[in-house]
Amino acid sequence: MRNTAEEFLAASDEKAFDVDHRRIINYNIGKYDAAVDRGLSRIANLDTAKRKGHVIKWKVMENLDKLLPEFEANFQKRGGKVIWANDAEEANREILSIIQKAGAKTVVKSKSMVTEEIHLNAFLESNQVESLETDLGEYIVQLLGQKPYHIVTPAMHLSKEDIARLFYEKFDTPIDFTPEQLTQKARELLRDKYLQADVGITGANFLIADTGSIAVSENEGNARLCTSFPKIHIAIVGIEKLIPSLTDLDLFWPMLATHGTGQNLTVYNTILSGPRKPGETDGPEEMYVILLDNGRTNLLAQKEQRQGLYCIRCGACLNACPVYKNIGGHTYQTTYSGPIGSVITPHTDGMEEFKHLSYASSLCGKCTEVCPVKIDIHKMLLLNRRDAVKDGLVAKKEKWGWFAWKKSMLSRKMTDFFSGKTKNTFIKLFFKNTWGHYRDLPTLPGKSFSEQWREHEKGE
């Protein structure tokens, strides 16, 4: 079994001291912060909006067993088809079955973290189906053979010079192309693909129970092209994306846009309620919604931590997190990185393999502060740590270390017995190669506080 914790520590150690990475991320997150500050200033009562969003998502999670069948029934009434998938393997198999039944060979995809979660592109390629990302950021990382760096801005770790160099190598464009020229080139490359594609695949930002619709937000228009030109549209969506009513979008759309990019609303917001009807000029002949579990019900079963499923994938907690800003998104080796990924991944992908992510936090609480649906993220991280200990998923060395620390902290005599000299030797022995690799180790006083106090008292 892979030791993901050791890989995480090694990658973090390397990335945290990568000066160029720090420069790019600080620049990009700085621009994000300025935009979001402007956007949030336009919301009259931000705290009330957050509380309302929290309550709506709470109601959804408490009534998921009723709302999911309601969505299914309403979507099917409009001619759509619903498929339930327990895990990634099942979801991929169902998607491939639809594609093969239609005799399709090419797929265009809009940005979707759920398709990243199930590794759909690699699966389709292995079955001789061309799958092309059409979101510009996703297209760039696909060309690089990388995973998205961030859940909202997949290519946040790249500078405009990096992207110009990539296009120069792949398409022989001038090395000094501007961002506008690079975007124009991508448009030229992708436009014909929409017309040729047999199938369009998207995610969805929200599933709307009372109308049986999906809501998709985007800034480039590529999702509309993916859902309009191909004959078949497949939307794959996590079961937690439900909202009860169409009217709830008046809260969630602005909150998602403002916290995600600082906009009042994203440029394109689309509600799709099934395949093309007779007399309509565009849209697919068939539309499928695949409802994906893939470990979500494991988190739903955790009463104290299920609020992790309230997440609307705005990415605000990533941009606020001091750990994420130093080690970057790829270091986590998970689909969902940053604070919210550290909360949900141990439950969806296995506590034993990913418990270390719950320790990748300063517990400053900034993630909780910025969350648009008031998920108590830093508390959830502590609860994950507790569960890992309860389940016995802690190394013996760590158990004995905390046992010894607790013993000494509860005994003044023992604390005094380990003098400053002993403590300094202990620190050098056990922390030189970890904490002391880039930092000067602290030097503790030669005498404990109680010893110094007794001497002070005698002096008086």
Per-residue pLDDT reduced to its tens digit, 135-152: 999 999 999 999 999 999
- Tell me if 275 is assigned to some domain: yes
Q: Are 114 and 296 in contact (CB under 8 A)?
A: no
Q: Which two tokens stand for residue 250?
A: 């008046």
Q: Would the pLDDT of 18 be above 70?
A: yes
What is the percentage of the chain residues whose pLDDT exceeds 90? 82
For residue 410, being part of any structural domain is answered with yes
Domain span at residue 144 reads 43-294
- As a whole number, mean pLDDT of residues 100-112 equals 96
Query: Given its phi and psi angles, is residue 78 left (phi above 0), alpha (psi -120 to 50 degrees) or beta?
Result: alpha
User: Is there a single domain that holds both residue 414 and residue 275?
Assistant: no
Whether the pLDDT of residue 430 is over 80: the answer is no
Residue 125 within any structural domain of the chain: yes
Whether 166 is in a domain gets the answer yes
CATH code at position 78: 3.40.50.10420
- The residue that leads in pLDDT, 149 or 432, is 149
pLDDT band at 197 (very low <50, low <70, confident <90, very high): very high
Beta-bridge partner residues of 290: 83, 236
Please compute, for residue 420, the number of CA atoms within 13 A of its CA located in the half-sphere on the CB side. 11
Identity of residue 34: A
Are 83 and 222 members of one domain? Answer: yes
pLDDT digits (tens, 9 = 90+) for 154-165: 999 999 999 999
Helix axis angle, 46-62 to 64-77, nearest 10°: 90
Mean pLDDT, rounded, of the chain: 93
Query: Which pLDDT score is estimated for 443?
Result: 83
Tell me if 421 is assigned to some domain: yes
Can you state the angle between helices 338-348 and 377-390, rounded to 10 degrees?
Answer: 30
Instruction: Please give the tally of structural domains in the chain.
Output: 2
Task: Provide the 10 A C-beta neighbour count for residue 454.
Answer: 13
Nearest to 236 by CA among 316, 67, 103, 121: 121
pLDDT at residue 426, as a whole number: 80
Do 260 and 403 have their domain in common? no
User: Quick one: average pLDDT of 171-176?
Assistant: 96
Whether residue 289 is found in the same domain as residue 415: no
Choose the final residue of a domain: 275, 294, 313.
Answer: 294
Domain boundary among 294, 312, 342: 294
For residues 68-95, average pLDDT: 98
CB 108 within 8 A of CB 230: yes
Tokens of 53: 């969003």
Between 353 and 454, name the one with better pLDDT.
353
- The pLDDT of 38-53, averaged and rounded, is 95
In this prediction, residue 27 carries a pLDDT of: 94
Residue with tokens 């990382």: 141
**Which residues touch 360 (CB under 8 Å, ≥6 apart)?**
8, 12, 323, 327, 332, 342
Mean pLDDT of 388-398: 87
Is 378 in contact with 367 (CB distance < 8 Å)?
yes
* pLDDT for position 432: 77
Closest to 344 in 3D by CA, of 2, 1, 174, 113: 113
pLDDT above 90: residue 437: no
Domain co-membership, 274 together with 132: yes
Say what the pLDDT of residue 460 is: 61
pLDDT in tens, 205-264: 999 999 999 999 999 999 999 999 999 999 999 999 999 999 999 999 999 999 999 999
- Comparing 29-33, 236-240, 358-362, 418-422, the range with the smallest average pLDDT is 418-422
Mark which of 276, 294, 312 sits at the end of a domain.
Answer: 294
The pLDDT of residue 1 is above 60: no
The mean pLDDT of 378-386, rounded to a whole number, is 96
Q: What is the pLDDT of residue 353?
A: 94
Q: Does 97 map to a domain? A: yes
CA gap 323, 327 in Å, rounded = 6
- pLDDT at position 436, please? 62
- Is residue 376 domain-resident? no
pTM: 0.92
